[in-house]
Amino acid sequence: MRRLAVLALLATWSPAAAADYDVVVYGGTASGAAAAVQAARMGKTVVLVEPGRHVGGLTSGGLGWTDSGNKAVIGGISREFYQRVKRHYDDPKAWVHEKRDEYKFYRKDEDAMWTFEPKVAERILRELLAEAKVPVVFGERLDRAPGKGVKLDGKRIVSLTTESGRAFSGKMFIDATYEGDLMAAAGVSYAVGREPNKQYGETLNGVARKWNTHLHRFTAKVDPYVKPGDPKSGLLFGIDPNPLPADGEADNRLQAYCFRMCMTDVEANRVPFEKPADYDERWYELLFRNFEAGDLRIPMKPDRMPNGKTDTNNNCAVSTDFIGQNYRYPAASYAEREKIVAAHLSYQKGLMWSLLNHPRVPEKVRGQMAKWGLAKDEFTDTGHWPHQLYIREARRLVGDYVHTELDCRRKRETPKSVGMGSYNMDSHNCARYVTPEGTVQNEGDVQEGTGGPYRISYGSIVPKAGECPNLLVPVCVSSSHIAYGSIRMEPVFMVLGQSAATAAAVAIDDKVDVQAVDYEKLRKRLVADKQVVEYAGAVKEGGIDPKKLPGVVVDDADAELKGFASASGSVAPFVGSGYRHDGNADRGKQTATFTPDLPAAGWYEVRLAYTANPNRASNVVVTVTHADGRTGVKVDQRRKPGADGLWASLGTFRFEKEKLGSVTVSNADADGYVVVDAVQWLPAKE
């Protein structure tokens, strides 16, 4: 009966008889679903072609912990999805394995909910598509043989053809895949890997040994050789034998992939982790040695979802990320991709079995892992493992506008906004290497804040002028590696999918290329559909607009941050949209440098803004660089600063004109949390 019900459901999703559409969306990710729904709502004929058997990509594939940054900038269909999630969990009947009021991420008074079960996410996306009467074609992969998959008229796509021979013609095409297969077949420019910092004037791109200050690294000394101490015996599995370029230089390495497991500790709904048939103990030697070296951290991050489930992510030195095993994936054939995906699945199955059973895993760790298994009522057609590998990054479009770190940090004006992002610039590790000291270390993990919401340009979702004139790309967007680390969040992909479909409809109506769409007309429709293209709440409740303060004020959003990735606004008052802190971790490795652009040389009183709290450090090291040298000041952030509770004076110093001075806050030897908010320069008499 269940099989008949599934077949009946699929039958309702059969495509329209005609293979000719206004808009053809390739890729049933959450972005693709949002694009298809928007195209239909704008009165266009549309088809959604999905290579697999599910819609939602990572949104329905285990990533229930919504990395979104500032949720106020999530609008349109994206927010509608999360509002529907909330309505689902408002119903007490939705809570089968847990009481609603015991789940700490359920908020009665909020309009949306940002954590959810995979099956709930897919059901909601299917409902949105069905309500919009969007035909969805499952199990049809683009024919990637040269000259077969995409029919062109000059540079314009006429139709796409799948491996089965089915053709889908359209006026406009949207590539909503994680891989960018359609855009590659259409012959547009794209990049893979990490650019050098110098290419786009960035500081966080390229090889990133120096940023290796976070949790996802080896904190113990682990020998990298098959025979400990003997380089001639060869390197252990997973360690890259090829030398890394210098920090900040380019390479073709990719941040690691993994499966976002949906685990549970509810015994009635738990499926035990099994040892894979092709288990290879050599794949886990680094794991075992790391434990034996004294690192007893549980190497995973199980964030709680409703009904006793999790979205489990990578964590610590050796975890679910299969570092270095995905480099060939973006351009690989389907057959080779399937092998890469299978290897990732085998690795992760073996990892979980090892953590539960292997005698070289400490008993304490095995005991803590014993309560976990896969959720029995999730991913029932794929052995309870997610149907989607987390393709964190593959190809990236290179358009006339490339979104970079400068856009993420609002250091340049981003034109023609079609959506906003705000999450950290986040790259997972890209490689494992042998340090000069002869130990193993991870490389590529970067987690740097943006300081608040930023605009994403329409130019980032369309090819260069002169390239394909009827293609939009809302997932593999035109951005640098490090900027993509922030954009690549599922809510943002949905936002950009809706914006891409809106632009496609405008281009059809006006009979113009996507590169020539009237932005004001596009913007007007986006705003009407509740998309957020500007952040009106840059100064939220409790915040003070830095533009309204006297003197020269540099907010944390404009500071040069090394670390200080955690954002907050829980203690007021503060400047701007909040403040940042060091997480009470990584002593001596986190700094924030505030550089003013002073209108004239002279004497200035320098003041530091922070919010006081008993958990703050009492000995924060602040260095003022001025015309007469450097002055160190100790600040007690447990004490309320000044009469206004915001500003603490660091002293009066002489400065040269323009950007020839600075204030640097460090967390070296701090005895609590270190907060960075803003620095103010007030003209003063000598």
Q: For position 10, what pLDDT does the model report?
A: 40
Percent of the chain with pLDDT over 70: 96
Q: For position 454, what pLDDT does the model report?
A: 92
pTM across the whole model? 0.80
Element (H, E) at 594: strand 591-594
Q: What is the mean pLDDT of residues 550-562?
A: 90
Q: Residue 1: pLDDT band by 50, 70, 90 thresholds?
A: very low
Alpha helices in 293-427 (DSSP H): 334-357, 363-369, 405-408
Give domain 543-684's CATH superfamily.
Answer: Galactose-binding domain-like (2.60.120.260)
The three-state secondary structure class of 99 is coil
pLDDT, tens digit (0-9, with 9 covering 90-100), for 342-384: 999 999 999 999 999 999 999 999 999 999 999 999 999 999 9
> Would you list the domain boundaries of the chain?
12-87+117-192+417-421+447-528, 543-684
Q: Residue 450: pLDDT band by 50, 70, 90 thresholds?
A: confident
Q: Residue 13: pLDDT band by 50, 70, 90 thresholds?
A: very low
Q: What are phi and psi of 172, to 5 degrees?
A: -135, 150
Examine the pLDDT at 542 and tell me if it is beyond 60. no
Q: For position 570, what pLDDT does the model report?
A: 65
Between CA 665 and CA 619 the distance in angstroms is 11
Q: Residue 37: pLDDT band by 50, 70, 90 thresholds?
A: very high
pLDDT, tens digit (0-9, with 9 covering 90-100), for 253-307: 999 999 999 999 999 999 999 999 999 999 999 999 999 999 999 999 999 999 9
Between CA 620 and CA 676 the distance in angstroms is 10
Examine the pLDDT at 435 and tell me if it is beyond 50. yes
Closest among 56, 200, 15, 120 to 493, alpha carbons compared:
56
pLDDT, tens digit (0-9, with 9 covering 90-100), for 616-652: 999 999 999 999 999 999 999 999 998 778 899 999 9
Examine the pLDDT at 17 and tell me if it is beyond 50. no
Q: Residue 536: pLDDT band by 50, 70, 90 thresholds?
A: low
What's the Cα-to-Cα distance from 118 to each of 55, 56, 417, rounded to whole Å? 11, 9, 31
Percent of the chain with pLDDT over 90: 83
Q: Residue 426: pLDDT band by 50, 70, 90 thresholds?
A: very high
Q: Residue 2: pLDDT band by 50, 70, 90 thresholds?
A: very low
Q: For position 654, what pLDDT does the model report?
A: 95
pLDDT, tens digit (0-9, with 9 covering 90-100), for 160-217: 999 999 999 999 999 999 999 999 999 999 999 999 999 999 999 999 998 777 789 9
pLDDT, tens digit (0-9, with 9 covering 90-100), for 622-631: 999 999 999 9
Q: What is the mean pLDDT of residues 455-459?
A: 97
3-state secondary structure 639-673: CCCCCCCCEEEEEEEEECCECCCEEEEECCCCCCE
* Residue found by looking up tokens 């290419």 in the block: 199
Between CA 105 and CA 551 the distance in angstroms is 41
Q: Residue 8: pLDDT band by 50, 70, 90 thresholds?
A: very low
Between CA 328 and CA 321 the distance in angstroms is 16
Q: What are phi and psi of 526, to 5 degrees?
A: -60, -45
Mean pLDDT of the chain: 93
Which residues on adjacent β-strands are paired with residue 647?
A: 609
Closest among 295, 260, 8 to 117, alpha carbons compared:
260
Between CA 408 and CA 424 the distance in angstroms is 9
Q: For position 537, what pLDDT does the model report?
A: 57
Q: For position 539, what pLDDT does the model report?
A: 47
Closest among 295, 337, 339 to 319, alpha carbons compared:
295
pLDDT, tens digit (0-9, with 9 covering 90-100), for 100-132: 999 989 988 889 999 999 999 999 999 999 999
Does the domain made of 12-87+117-192+417-421+447-528 have the CATH classification 3.50.50.60?
Answer: yes
Please answer whether residues 137 and 397 qualify as being in contact, where contact means their C-beta atoms are separated by less than 8 angstroms.
no
Examine the pLDDT at 599 and tell me if it is beyond 50. yes
Give the CB-side neighbour count of residue 454, counting CA atoms within 13 A.
Answer: 28
Among 243-247, 475-479, 574-578, 591-595, the least confident range? 574-578
Please answer whether residues 482 and 201 qualify as being in contact, where contact means their C-beta atoms are separated by less than 8 angstroms.
no
Phi-psi category of residue 564: left, alpha or beta, with phi > 0 → left and psi -120 to 50 → alpha: left
pLDDT, tens digit (0-9, with 9 covering 90-100), for 311-345: 999 999 999 999 999 999 999 999 999 999 999 99
Q: Residue 656: pLDDT band by 50, 70, 90 thresholds?
A: very high
Q: What is the mean pLDDT of residues 532-558?
A: 79
543-684 shares the fold of 12-87+117-192+417-421+447-528 = no
